[in-house]
Amino acid sequence: MAYGGSLSVLIIYALATGFSVAMLGTPEPYNVDWRASITALIGTALYALAIAVARLDPVGGSVLAVFTLSEVLEGLVSAGASYAGATLSYIIDYIGGLAILAYLLISLTREARRVVEELSDVAERGLIENIRRVLEERGFKVKSLRVRQVIPGKYHGDAIVEAPHDMPLEVANILVDEITDMLAKNNIDLTVHIDKMRLKW
What domains does the chain contain, in order, with CATH numbers?
4-119 (no CATH), 125-198 (3.30.70.1350)
pTM above 0.75, yes or no: no
Compute the average pLDDT of residues 6-16: 79
Q: How far apart are CA 47 and CA 116, in angstroms?
A: 26
Say what the alpha-carbon torsion angle 172, 176, 178, 180 is, to the nearest 10 degrees: 180
Q: How confident is the model at residue 165 (pLDDT cuts 50, 70, 90)?
A: confident
Q: Which helix (H) or strand (E) holds 193?
A: strand 188-194
Compute the average pLDDT of residues 59-70: 56
Compute the average pLDDT of residues 47-56: 76
Report residue 111: phi and psi, to 5°: -70, -35
pLDDT tens sequence across 77-93: 888 888 787 788 888 87
Residue type, 32: V
Q: How far apart are CA 133 and CA 138, in angstroms?
A: 9
